[in-house]
Structure 1
């Protein structure tokens, strides 16, 4: 493998004509990190990946691998390798020659490059398919060949552009395990673009949530889920209720439903603040002493196996408004069916004050 090194983006900007796709972002990805760039379509994540790969020119800023600025280097000289979404396998070449192709372009002797290709096929458990053409492989098998081909040059970082999007759910979960295993075994950085929250949470050491060309939050999966920095992150990651609440000018406390308050964090101000409450931290039932809560009407019930999601439309809120006027409660299956509710029923919702997270925006 090539020498490992941190990947750093320093005020990287990408323009397409008059439109800004990536807006002066700065990010450091430590060597050996599994990093997922996560966000909705058009947020700039694929443009960022392609600039790192050298397939898009940078409009401004720098990209460094280790201590070297790689902005002007061609893709083959950067120490990175790209695995494309459509795999881009050569249909007329068998698996060995597909994997060995880049070594052929470098002038390596046939026997040597094919031997090296077989090593990579064993790494991805595809040695038994070495003589097959791509058309004779399943989608998951083609992906493994594309992965071996990307790794054969010994890159410092592997760049993956939505590599699992074309796979069925069962195979997607299996390939997630394979990608994580390979990344740990090889010890190199993987930078993986996805719009799937589940994928990013399952794979990443570092989750980078992007929105409108900017980085909203870059942190561990657990931090992003438990401590979303902004309302956008809380909405996009899912599983959070967002409330916009008044701040009591007398004591600076955020006024929560149920006539209880929590203090603002140091340095925070304003007449209103947004907070988030995880759906699985809320419960059906009235608030007891020191808890927040409200009454409302059941708007939706979704059975999801181990959990049941219940949507509640609030009634009579004074100092708070709730995103989309619906509060979601995730109830475990046994608890729900011990006291089930149906659409149209009156219901109370409550949560502990310690389960409130104050958002920065």
Structure 2
């Protein structure tokens, strides 16, 4: 396998129809050998960004630099990248090994050489016993492994993945997530993975890039982004946070993690907190195993949530319609950009 390449996007934009700005002058650097997830809701520009890196979409403006070389105008075959599509796009009439070997055939390699190389890559993704099966004879997870092997057969420096886990059931998605992370570490190449799943991005990425309306809202390690969201959009999109509006003494909203707040029935601030609190009414209670999720309607028409550990909740349960106070420690509150 080739060595990894870093990626740099410099003021990259994508316009459709001359006026619809899907990607708006973004700057981003992805370190060589890292796992980067582009994260955001549908229409945020993440897939257009991935396709521009691959060369399947032409950048309307800006520069794309891979491994120190400006590849903005190069075709996909000359960028040192490979793309794994959401649909897998396997040829239904070909066996797994022939699917993997196909690009080598197009490049003119003889049958013995290309099948030998394809077999090596199928071994890497634990698909050797299924090499002669056609896609219809494979499970979703097995098809994904074949698609990954096909992307790796030309030894790319960068692997681009467009929502590769979205077609899998939840159990298999978690299993394959762990496999992707392991393969990336073993191969040592740069992975860029598009997803709308916060959980997926948190679990996989070294660098998480949260996008909205064609712009990068925040980029950093999952730990940093989750603990210090920069904007209200990031805090709400990642989930697990309360965004509490600004008041007369605070110019911008704050974010407080839902597992860092405390609830008390009709009481003022709970002992041990510094007086930061808000009154509300319990709207709903949802048991989620290790914790209970309590939703409340708070003052100022705000919907807030608290993750209460199971033992604490059942020691003093709250019921829908009951008045309560949600309180937090100022050290756990993070000021968001105005």
Would you say same fold, with TM above 0.5?
A: yes
2-side partners of 1:215 and 1:110: how far apart? 45
Mapping of residues 143-222 of structure 1, within 5 Å: 143-222=144-223
Name 2:8's counterpart in structure 1: 8
1-side partners of 2:200 and 2:24: how far apart? 25
- Which of 312, 325, 332 is the aligned partner of 1:335? 312
Name 1:292's counterpart in structure 2: 276
Q: Secondary structure at the match of 1:326?
A: strand
Q: Secondary structure at the match of 1:191?
A: strand
Count of aligned pairs between the two proteins:
332
Runs of 4+ residues deviating >3 angstroms? none
- Which of 247, 264, 277 is the aligned partner of 2:256? 277
Name 2:287's counterpart in structure 1: 303
Structure-2 change in CA distance of 1:314 and 1:4 (3 Å)? closer
How far apart are 1:222 and its partner, in Å?
A: 0.5
Name 2:78's counterpart in structure 1: 77
Q: Secondary structure at the match of 1:245?
A: coil
Structure 2 unaligned runs (5+)?
A: none
How far apart are 1:122 and its partner, in Å?
A: 0.9
2-side partners of 1:92 and 1:273: how far apart? 58
Q: Secondary structure at the match of 1:228?
A: coil
Contact kept, 8 Å, 1:2 with 1:79, in 2: the verdict is no
How far apart are 1:247 and its partner, in Å?
A: 4.6
2-side partners of 1:216 and 1:294: how far apart? 28
1-side partners of 2:291 and 2:90: how far apart? 41
2-side partners of 1:148 and 1:356: how far apart? 45
Q: Secondary structure at the match of 2:293?
A: strand
Contact kept, 8 Å, 2:38 with 2:208, in 1: the verdict is yes
2-side partners of 1:183 and 1:247: how far apart? 49
1:106-156 deviations in Å (ceiling 9; x for gaps): 111211111111111111111000110111001111000000000010001
Give the alignment's TM-score, normalised by structure 1: 0.90
Structure 1 unaligned runs (5+)?
A: 249-253, 255-271, 316-320
Contact kept, 8 Å, 2:3 with 2:189, in 1: the verdict is no
1:196-253 deviations in Å (ceiling 9; x for gaps): 00000000000000000000000000011000000000000001111122354xxxxx
2-side partners of 1:119 and 1:296: how far apart? 61
1-side partners of 2:8 and 2:279: how far apart? 49
- Shifted more, 178-187 versus 69-78: the winner is 69-78
Mapping of residues 1-361 of structure 1, within 5 Å: 1-17=1-17, 18-248=19-249, 254=250, 272-285=251-264, 286-287=268-269, 288=271, 290-315=274-299, 321=300, 325-361=302-338
Contact kept, 8 Å, 1:298 with 1:341, in 2: the verdict is yes
Q: Secondary structure at the match of 2:216?
A: strand
Q: CA RMSD in A?
A: 1.1
